[in-house]
Amino acid sequence: MDSWTNTATKAAKRAGKKAGKKAALSASLAALVLAAAPACAGEGYLLHRYGDKPTRGLIYADSSWIETALSPEEESRILFADGPDAAMSAREAAPRSIRVFEVMEHKSAPDKIVHHLQFDCARGQARSTAVEVYRRNDTQESRAPSEWAPTPAGWMTQAQRFACEPASRNPEHGMTPLDGAANQLTVVDLSWQRFWTDGKRPRYTTSRSKTRIAARRQEVESTLARLSGAMDQVHTELRDQQDDARAQAEASARNARASERRQRTPNPALESWIDAPVQLLVGTWGDPLSYREEDSSRWLHYVFGATGPMREAAPSAPAADTGRCTIRLMVRNGSIYDYTASGAGSSCKNAAVPTRSVSM
């Protein structure tokens, strides 16, 4: 069994078990994504051609293979600690992981090479995390990974552009879109059927019987089917985790804002109107003296005195006038989101602001 099939089988067994802990599913995500991607549809491209007949080579990539190098565990940690915006920023800043497929024409050359690459888009550097070499005599070998270094010219630069600059994936930048996905199972046949029709495809040799070959093919197809289902499960679980983390982060931010607001509010009645529908507030307080649009929010302007809202007060009336409390309420998505209050002395504390009843 080759390393890819072995990896896929192990991942399928892990994913096939009913995972009671979301952390375990997150830890499996990276391996499952890499193993299952050949079974998933994507956008395949021919990135680069080199050499002359009969020593030509073709370089392929597929957008479905591009992943952030930020691990699911680290992304979840940032999400819980710093919120969804920080997690998104970390994801975008992390290097890109991608598999690139190299197909070679000459009979003495490997049939294909699978390059596991990472690109640091900001620094223009690349490294290889693994290289799988498949030969036509049914053998394979692995090559040592490499350290971070400036991205070499040629097909590596093209692969970096493909991973880091989605807008460049077009013929103007030397990238030929394919009719389907580009993956380990399709690129060799595609090369000979579409791009090397003038060449002679070398023969394959193997010591395995037809029965063993058929059994292995069935094994691979079965593994891919299990992985496809496992991928759906893992992605669902990860989305649930991210949704939970986002909700917790938003709730935490909301509670912190509410705590700060309660400490500074001059009139506790104002706090009762947080989250109230704006129609209910206007129906109780009356129309605002003025309002102001700001980004996705609307600010309502009121002036209250010791006996209630001051309908005749002009919006330009000084906030420090004795007995006046200027209240501005922020409305978002149809509800009261925040407020400010200002006035001289105890004007706001003594202002006759209605309290929202529980039944409202």
**pLDDT grade for 42, boundaries at 50, 70 and 90:** low
The region that residue 308 occupies, defined by phi over 0 for left and psi between -120 and 50 for alpha, beta otherwise, is left
Q: Is the pLDDT of residue 236 over 60?
A: yes
Measured distance CA(143)–CA(128) in Å, rounded:
10
Contacts of residue 295, defined as CB under 8 A and 6 or more positions apart, other chains included, come to: none
- Could you give all domains of the chain from N- to C-terminal order, each with its CATH number? 3-246 (no CATH), 266-350 (3.30.1450)
Lowest mean pLDDT among 2-16, 53-67, 237-251: 2-16
**pLDDT grade for 319, boundaries at 50, 70 and 90:** very low
Lowest mean pLDDT among 33-37, 114-118, 240-244: 33-37
Measured distance CA(14)–CA(204) in Å, rounded:
34
Which one has a higher pLDDT value, 315 or 176? Answer: 176
| Torsions phi, psi for 350 (to 5 deg) | -90, -5
Measured distance CA(42)–CA(46) in Å, rounded:
13
Q: CB-hemisphere CA count at 13 Å for 126?
A: 23
Which one has a higher pLDDT value, 347 or 24? Answer: 347
What does the pLDDT read at residue 5? 39
What does the pLDDT read at residue 222? 87
**pLDDT grade for 225, boundaries at 50, 70 and 90:** confident
What does the pLDDT read at residue 231? 81
Measured distance CA(360)–CA(354) in Å, rounded:
12
144-161 tens-digit pLDDT: 999 999 999 999 999 999
**Secondary structure tally for the chain: helices H, strands E:** 10, 14
Q: Is the pLDDT of residue 141 over 80?
A: yes
Count of beta carbons in the 10 Å neighbourhood of residue 4? 19
What does the pLDDT read at residue 16? 40
**pLDDT grade for 214, boundaries at 50, 70 and 90:** confident
What does the pLDDT read at residue 239? 86
Which helix (H) or strand (E) is 181 found in, with range?
none
Of 99, 138, 104, which is closest to residue 117 (Cα–Cα)?
99
User: Hey, what's the torsion of the CAs at 15, 21, 24, 28, to 10 degrees?
Assistant: 40
Of 337, 325, 241, which is closest to residue 296 (Cα–Cα)?
337
b/e per residue, 50-77, with b = 16+ CB within 10 A?
eeeeeebbbbbbbbbbbbbbbebeebbe
What does the pLDDT read at residue 19? 36
Measured distance CA(224)–CA(219) in Å, rounded:
9
Measured distance CA(122)–CA(158) in Å, rounded:
15
Highest-scoring range by mean pLDDT, 24-28, 79-83, 153-157: 153-157
Measured distance CA(360)–CA(350) in Å, rounded:
23
Which one has a higher pLDDT value, 2 or 135? Answer: 135
Structure tokens at 68: 């952030």
**Under a CB-based contact definition with an 8 Å cutoff, are residues 352 and 308 in contact?**
yes
Lowest mean pLDDT among 4-8, 48-52, 236-240, 253-257: 4-8
Mean pLDDT of 326-345: 91
Q: Is the pLDDT of residue 320 over 70?
A: no
Lowest mean pLDDT among 282-286, 294-298, 321-325: 321-325
Sequence length of the chain is 360
Mean pLDDT of 258-269: 81
**pLDDT grade for 322, boundaries at 50, 70 and 90:** low
Mean pLDDT of 204-228: 84
Structure tokens at 150: 């400036």
Q: What percent of the chain has pLDDT over 70?
A: 84
- DSSP assignment of 194-247, as one string? II-TTS-PPPP--SS-HHHHHHHHHHHHHHHHHHHHHHHHHHHHHHHHHHHHHH
Q: CB-hemisphere CA count at 13 Å for 285?
A: 30
**Under a CB-based contact definition with an 8 Å cutoff, are residues 256 and 83 in contact?**
no
- Record the pTM: 0.53
18 to 73, 133, 234, 237, 261: CA distances (angstroms): 19, 34, 11, 12, 45
Measured distance CA(341)–CA(301) in Å, rounded:
10
What does the pLDDT read at residue 206? 83
**Under a CB-based contact definition with an 8 Å cutoff, are residues 322 and 329 in contact?**
no
